[in-house]
Chains A and B, each alone.
Chain A
Amino acid sequence: MGTSVFETGALTTGAGTADNVSLTTLNFMAIQGGTATQASFVEEVYMGGQATASAPTIMLLGRDSTVGVGMVALVTPNSFGLTNPSGAVVTAIPVAFVTASGTQPIRSNSVTLAKKNFTFNSFGGIVKASYQNTQDRFGIIGSTASLGELSLSAFTGTTTSSIGAHIIIEVM
C-alpha cells in the first residue's frame, strides 16, 4: 500500500467533452490500474485555475467505459510518483497518462457508474476535495473497462482554459 500523486502543471480543458465520446489528447488526466486485480482509491483532487479571463469550468472525475490503449509516458511538467519518498513501491504501479498513442479514454455515460462533478471558475478559482478519512472512496479495480480506469476531464459547456491539478490515489 502507498499513496501516489499524479500532477499536471497546465492541463488544457478544451471546450469540454460529452460522456461516451473519446477524450481529446492532453485534455484529460487518466489513471489505469496496474494489474488485473489491483485496486486504487482517490484520496484527494485539487484543481487551481490558470485562466486569464473568466472561464466557467465543469470538471468530471469519472470511470472510463473505454480504457486507454498505448498510454504515452508522462513528460515534464506532468508527474506521477509516491507521496512519501520512503513509501512502499508497488510492483506494478497504476499507469498515469495524459495521452495515448492508440485509443483515447472514453468517459462512461452509464447512470450507475459514479462520477464526481467539480464546477468552478478557472479564472482564479480553486477546488480541493479531500477524501482521506472517508469510507468507500471513489476508486478503480483491475485495469479494464468500466471499473479499471478513471479520468479527470472537462464536460460540455466549459470555457477553454488551463488548470493545474493533482490527484492523490492510494494503491491497495
Chain B
Amino acid sequence: MRSKRDQQGELLIDHTFSPGITPEWAAAHGATGPVVGAGKKYESGLINCKHCGSDVLLHPQRMREREWCWTCDAYICDNCGLLRKLGDYTHKTARQQMEEVFNRYQRSF
C-alpha cells in the first residue's frame, strides 16, 4: 500500500567523533541547514518539494500541518504552500519548470 512516506530520502550528519559546528559559527558564516554540535548525530527524513525542488527536512517533532499538494499527491515546502495560499499561483512542478527553461533555451538557437 502506498504511503506518504514512500518517497522519503534521508539526511545524516554525523559528528559523533568530531568537534562539530557551533551555532555561533553557523550564524557568523550564514550557514543554513541543521547545525550539529560536537558528539551529536543528526538523522532526518528528507523529501524534495514537488514544486520548487528544495530539500524539506521532516522534523520528527513538528506539530503543525505539513503542506500537501493534492494535484501532485506529494508534500511541498512551506514557502510554496504559502505562495499557493496567497493566490494568483500557477501550479507547476519543479521538473516542468526545468523543462520549460530548457526548451526556451533550445528554441533560442
What residues make up the interface of A, taking CB atoms closer than 8 Å to B?
36, 49, 54, 56, 58, 114, 116-121, 123-139, 141-142, 144, 147, 157
CB 8 Å contact bits of B6-42 with A (1 = contact, 0 = none):
1111111111111111000110011111011000000
A-B residue pair count with CB separations less than 8 angstroms: 113
With known contacts A126-B13, A134-B7, A119–B31 Cβ distance under 8 A: yes
Size band of the interface chain B makes with A:
35 or more
* A141: nearest chain-B partner, CB-CB: B102
Query: 18 pairs across A/B with beta carbons < 8 Å?
Result: A56-B25, A114-B54, A116-B55, A120-B20, A121-B15, A121-B19, A124-B16, A125-B18, A127-B11, A130-B11, A133-B7, A133-B8, A136-B50, A136-B93, A141-B98, A147-B98, A147-B105, A157-B31
Alpha-carbon distance between A116 and B52 when the two chains are bound, in angstroms: 13
Bound together, the chains give a CA A18 to CA B36 distance in angstroms of: 23
Contact A118:B33 (CB < 8 A) given known A125-B13, A125-B20: yes
Which residues from A are CB-within-8-Å of B32? 117, 119
Determine the residue in chain B with the shortest Cβ distance to A45. B11
- Point out the residues of chain A lying under 8 angstroms from B14, CB to CB: 125-127
On chain B, the residues within 8 Å of A127 by CB distance are: 11-14
- Residue in A closest to B31 when the chains form the complex, CB atoms: A119
- Counting chain B CB atoms within 10 Å of each CB, the highest count among A125, A131, A134, A137 belongs to A134
Q: What is the distance, in angstroms, from A171's C-beta to the closest C-beta of chain B? A: 16
